[in-house]
Structure 1
């Protein structure tokens, strides 16, 4: 065979090979998660000779061991320092994690439907910026790393994407509390600056460490006819104030485990307590507010009266300049810092609401800002500028607001809700947009208390369940969170769920 015939044979073979490659390219589309070329496009170009053995083409035949594919595929330009990559993320609605397609997916549509017969995948297009650092390229999108190919082919890199599942937060500890009183107008939970938790159950108040949940002490009225209707920790020390259903206010020293004194004066249930240094203010269901100077024998130094309606909330501002009181008839009153006031004294401001003002709290970083939550007939969260008596922002929660808490670290508000959800809602301040919801109760969330380091909070609901939640997690603690054992808790009133 002549030399020209051999060349014609080579040209015919190459033309046939090139035509075959074009057909493959037309039949198979690129996968979006492969930004440059897919793996099957990077195989060395080979052809078969008449004997059936593989033979390299063109320059490769002249220089064995070197493969040239520039005539088959165009050479891709060098990857720039910054670029935008499209990735296809397929999320199955019932799956906790998302699947990312890498390379090819040769399954037919019928095979996919058979594997997921009742699930329709949701496809999202995500863009991310790539920054080079040596042979590793880091994506601007969280959890995505682009690794440069080895062996000198810089144009190749593969997407490795890990998408974290969106799972509703769960409480660290869920505790049964037997005998918990389901009363909207009581305040029977408080968390002290000394990291002590107090909760009233019937005629007893139980105290345990906020750090270990180990039971420390139990205060009992030793009475079958009266119960503890409110409690509050003093800001300085371990003194606990307790209000009772027969109008008595008691002081207990937890360190010495002794009752310091009994203070009388109310004729009805003491439903709310609030400390202003050595002044303890107490509110009763008959509408009166008493100021007690706990340093002196004649403790009753002042009295306020609010329309003879039940006082269901009392809060001294953090600057101790103003006292806010809420009543069952929907009246929010602001009183001056004057412990020696007389009965006929009038509040500085009176702000009416359409239902009881029980959920109420001062903003920790804005001294004249107060948040209130409406009862069953209202359900509106309001943030007030007390100086101007104007609403900064309000939002309808569509349920009874039973408790309210500020979260200083995140500048957010938390509300404990009633029906239909019985959940806790977290609101971004000042816009009051609902950022998240926490579900862990089957009854209305009556009480919420924040730990002194603001890392955890405790919720207590009408279903007799107390839940300990984490407020803020570091990246390390997400992987190794410490879960407290409910076995530490007092067997007098707690049972493991």
Structure 2
């Protein structure tokens, strides 16, 4: 008689071992798991319904959005209860291919937390912390992000293209306030009045520049006014050294010294050369079609760079200033010019709206073409008003005004500002990677001008909207490496 009682057949009873319950400490879902012999074969064709027997139906799936999962053809780690326990202990039960972070919060057992911490600590062994040089702006300006000193400047010219601020080699800061010039010795913190323009016909002071450091002698500062008057004063004796007559009444726009001479850019596009030993202009020539907003001698004094309101930059030969060596172009007015101190052939230029780019040029390429291509370009989408190379590290500093959006093919005639890290900021870029290291909001208005300290570590910025000046610690001095001991220094050869 056939046994109709449901249950396993005799053939199945011969192949399978007796079942016994065993509780696992690595998972809370193994109350009904069983321990099988290790000689059994693993069935890779197990149906999904049977795998759901060991799943926790009270929790939602933890699959990350838009992250692909493993295909069913791969070997699953939770095929049997034994392998499932091992996979859960080592954190391998999750079938996701990618994980953003270690999901430690979901692990409830102490062993799971321990293995997750071990995996995280092991991954830290292969991570290298980037080293920051002590002279870099990342070690000073990026950490402090605060100014060291703030000074008021009532009457500062309300002109973004003016140069009312100058820093002397003897650590004296001078500022033009309307018809007067005041200066402060930053070592003694004494403030003094230098001079004023007695007659309204002499205009307002628009440009200031200190002469280079001299071994001995007076400390000279040159000034140019809106009506074209040019004077040189001695800050040590507070006396006027030289005055040049104003013949054409064309306002001064920029100044740059070379020894006891200085170049002056005027509003009609001409460049004039003055010598403190000569009562008249040494020479003058037509250089630009627009206002000469920028003038800068190179570090080796071989070249003179000039920029105008139409975005044109010229490079002139110092031996013959009427000889133009190169012509570069921006899409907006150019005021920011900077020659590299540790590589004299590099010239950085920055354009204002609607340009917003910083170009780095090389005078080496001027021998082959009159219109060279820039070596590097840094796009900021904001007006650039001043540039400075660091003398202690390969970094370039820029000061900015308002920023705009670059999405449109044609920018509007009037600037429409947008939020940006470059807005009214001091920004330092690495060279030659052009990577932005740090941006610090310096003022609530345009940072129209900045000056470097004599040692090249401090920066003074000015904002005509605030009528204020601020001093910042940007770089650090490079440590001088001591001379290595040599065998020839210890022993003599006979």
Query: Aligning the two structures, in what range does the TM-score lie when normalised by the shorter sequence?
Result: 0.5 to 0.7
1:425-460 deviation digits (Å, cap 9, x = unpaired): 111011211110011311011111111112211111
Match of 1:279 in 2: 261
Q: Matched residue pairs, number?
A: 330
Q: Partner of 1:251: helix, strand, or coil?
A: strand
* Cα separation, 2, equivalents of 1:427 and 1:460: 21
Q: Does 1:267 align with 2:249?
A: yes
1:269-300 deviation digits (Å, cap 9, x = unpaired): 11111111122111110111111122233x31
Aligned runs of 1:177-256 on 2, under 5 Å?
Answer: 177-224=153-200, 226-237=203-214, 238-256=219-237
* Cα separation, 1, equivalents of 2:155 and 2:299: 33
Aligned runs of 1:379-418 on 2, under 5 Å?
Answer: 379-388=356-365, 389-418=372-401
* Cα separation, 2, equivalents of 1:194 and 1:168: 26
Change (3 A) 1:358 1:472: closer
Aligned runs of 1:93-104 on 2, under 5 Å?
Answer: none
* Cα separation, 2, equivalents of 1:191 and 1:231: 9
Match of 1:291 in 2: 273
Match of 2:486 in 1: none
Match of 1:63 in 2: none
> How well do the aligned residues superpose, as a CA RMSD in angstroms?
3.2
Change (3 A) 1:126 1:381: farther
1:63-94 deviation digits (Å, cap 9, x = unpaired): xxxxxxxxxxxxxxxxxxxxxxxxx99xxxxx
Q: Which of residues 446, 460, 470 in structure 1 aligns to 2:473?
A: 470
* Cα separation, 1, equivalents of 2:165 and 2:121: 48
Q: Partner of 1:466: helix, strand, or coil?
A: strand
Change (3 A) 1:450 1:235: same
CA contact (8 A) 1:168 1:438 kept: no
Change (3 A) 1:431 1:140: closer
CA contact (8 A) 1:401 1:415 kept: yes
Q: Does 1:359 align with 2:332?
A: no
* TM-score (norm. length: structure 2): 0.61
* Cα separation, 1, equivalents of 2:394 and 2:186: 23
Aligned runs of 1:58-73 on 2, under 5 Å?
Answer: none
Q: Does 1:429 align with 2:431?
A: yes
Change (3 A) 1:406 1:212: farther
What is the Cα deviation at residue 407 of structure 1?
Answer: 1.5
Q: Does 1:329 align with 2:305?
A: no
Aligned runs of 1:21-170 on 2, under 5 Å?
Answer: 169-170=145-146
What is the Cα deviation at residue 167 of structure 1?
Answer: 6.0
1:215-247 deviation digits (Å, cap 9, x = unpaired): 144321134451111011111341001111111
* Cα separation, 2, equivalents of 1:323 and 1:333: 8
* Cα separation, 2, equivalents of 1:301 and 1:224: 27
CA contact (8 A) 2:311 2:331 kept: yes
CA contact (8 A) 2:270 2:287 kept: yes
* Cα separation, 2, equivalents of 1:465 and 1:294: 31
CA contact (8 A) 2:269 2:289 kept: yes
* Cα separation, 1, equivalents of 2:308 and 2:128: 52
Structure 2 portions without partners, runs of 5+: 1-23, 29-100, 103-109, 111-119, 131-141, 366-371, 404-422, 478-494
Shifted more, 211-220 versus 361-370: the winner is 211-220
What is the Cα deviation at residue 210 of structure 1?
Answer: 3.1
CA contact (8 A) 1:241 1:252 kept: yes
Change (3 A) 1:223 1:26: farther
CA contact (8 A) 2:338 2:388 kept: yes
Match of 2:56 in 1: none
Q: Which of residues 324, 342, 348 in structure 2 aligns to 1:371?
A: 348
Change (3 A) 1:127 1:196: farther
Shifted more, 180-189 versus 415-424: the winner is 180-189
Match of 1:459 in 2: 461
Q: Partner of 1:387: helix, strand, or coil?
A: helix
* Cα separation, 1, equivalents of 2:313 and 2:387: 15
What is the Cα deviation at residue 465 of structure 1?
Answer: 2.4
What is the Cα deviation at residue 125 of structure 1?
Answer: 6.8
Question: Higher strand proportion, which one?
Answer: 1
Change (3 A) 1:218 1:26: farther
CA contact (8 A) 2:347 2:361 kept: yes
* Cα separation, 2, equivalents of 1:188 and 1:309: 21
* Cα separation, 1, equivalents of 2:128 and 2:206: 54
CA contact (8 A) 1:128 1:141 kept: no
